[in-house]
Amino acid sequence: MAFQPKTGTRTATIATAGLDRPRRRLLGALAGATLAAGGMGAMGVASLAHAADTDYPKRPIKIIVGYSPGGTTDIVARLIAPGMAESLGQSVVIENRPGAGGNLGAEVTANAAADGYTLMMGTAGNMTVNPWIYDNMKFDTVRDFAPISLVAAVPNVMVVNPSVPAKTVGEFIAWAKERPGKVFFASSGTGNTPHMTGELFKMKTGLDLVHVPYKGSGPALTDLIGGQGVQVMFDNLPSAIGHIRSGSLRALATTGAKRSASLPDVPTMQEAGVKDFDVQAWFGLFAPGKTPAPIVAKVHAAVLAALAKPETRKSLEDQGAVIVGNDPAAFGKVVATEYKTWGAVVKAANIKLN
């Protein structure tokens, strides 16, 4: 099934409080970013300081989410927005721009003014997988973005519609082997971690599953729950956990190295017999690539302030997320590592879009 990128719709809510080509490009951009952060001469530093408005922010800040409302990226953005707003003294607007596996939202962000007023909650999908599968991307995922902080990481979870007779991964494998090409797995979009987790599962098990991409976890889960043409999904835990708890979906395994504290009775994929299977999805905040370092630092501090709030931490942890909150340099290293890891999977699965 071919995936045709479509322009998505946008929705917005406001959180208010208190007032490799790809690899060469990647390495070059990382080197450039390092020089920009720590190797400037005095004139460069002075210019940067001049460019960064010390009164930032003076108006509301927008966080672009390149996926539909209800998905994990959206959930994480909305959970940290109030704490960021309180720290920065301005409203934080969440704007959903779904389409093309997160590329649409990323393109909007990459082309935005580098003034700190447009940010993006990025994922492993649109930042480290898409460069390998799209030939005609209109932005460079490293050069055109400044990493701020990896906010949270979550395992994915293999969920099935209750009509599927399998109650374990082993039973699902046996059931699907009897139906080659007739079992469909949903994802929140081509190249996103739910898709790539499904491809990895296919590689590990030899199953013939058909991928069906959606514009976000929300619509994918709706069809999965309703039995509308798809039987299984490898979704990010936060967007699926409510449906698991309600009984609308059955969880067969999580994809991390350890069991999730939120679903302690659900085995890991490795415990279920699929060896060397460890996948974590991550969600991190980015700014346009030329955003001045002082502004990046201020936004980073706001992220940490939000993550320090007990209510925010509890909400994220209740969703099955592991809170990270690292610094821009550390986050940049994560992006580089993930880029190489998922590139190998994309090549092995021969995934390509134009």
On the question of pLDDT at 337 being above 60, the answer is yes
Measuring CA to CA, which residue among 240, 280, 303, 233 is closest to residue 85? Answer: 303
Tokens of 279: 């996948």
Tokens of 219: 């619509």
The better pLDDT of the pair 90, 261 is held by: 90
DSSP state for residue 7 in the 8-state scheme? P
Q: Is the dihedral of CA 216, 222, 223, 225 positive or negative?
A: positive
Q: Where in the chain is the domain with CATH 3.40.190.150?
A: 11-153+280-349
Q: Where in the chain is the domain with CATH 3.40.190.10?
A: 155-254
Architecture, CATH, for domain 155-254: 3-Layer(aba) Sandwich (3.40)
The predicted-structure confidence for 129-188, as pLDDT tens digits, reads as follows 999 988 888 889 889 999 999 999 999 999 999 999 999 999 999 999 999 999 999 998
Tokens of 176: 């699907």
The predicted-structure confidence for 197-220, as pLDDT tens digits, reads as follows 999 999 999 999 999 999 888 899
Rounded CA-CA distance 131/49 in Å is 32
Q: Angle, to 10 degrees, between the axis of helix 310-318 and the axis of helix 293-308?
A: 80
DSSP state for residue 254 in the 8-state scheme? E
pLDDT confidence of residue 99: 85
The SS3 call for residue 64 is strand
Mean pLDDT of 305-314: 97
pLDDT confidence of residue 215: 81
pLDDT confidence of residue 227: 94
On the question of pLDDT at 32 being above 70, the answer is no
Amino acid at 31: A
On the question of pLDDT at 70 being above 90, the answer is no
The predicted-structure confidence for 36-68, as pLDDT tens digits, reads as follows 334 444 344 334 444 445 789 999 999 999 988
Q: Collect all residues with Cβ–Cβ distance below 8 Å to 241 and sequence separation of at least 6.
A: 157, 262, 263, 319, 320
Structure-token match 């799209």, residue found: 134
Band (109; pLDDT cuts 50, 70, 90): very high
Q: How many CB atoms lie within 10 A of CB 109?
A: 26
Tokens of 54: 């010390």
Q: How far is CA 252 from CA 79, 204, 294, in A?
A: 27, 16, 46
pLDDT confidence of residue 216: 82
pLDDT confidence of residue 354: 54
Mean pLDDT of 58-86: 94
The predicted-structure confidence for 237-284, as pLDDT tens digits, reads as follows 988 999 999 999 999 999 999 999 899 999 999 999 999 999 988 999
**Domain at 11-153+280-349, CATH from 3.40.190.150, 3.40.50.720, 3.40.50.1100, 3.40.50.300:** 3.40.190.150
Measuring CA to CA, which residue among 235, 213, 226 is closest to residue 281? Answer: 235
pLDDT confidence of residue 189: 82
169-205 residues labelled b (16+ CB within 10 A) or e (exposed)? beebbebbeeeeeebbbbbbbbbbbbbbbbbbbbeeb
Measuring CA to CA, which residue among 330, 336, 297, 340 is closest to residue 28? Answer: 336
Phi, psi of 294, deg, nearest 5 = -60, -35
pLDDT confidence of residue 30: 34
What pTM did the predictor assign?
0.74
The secondary structure element, H or E, covering residue 246 is helix 237-246
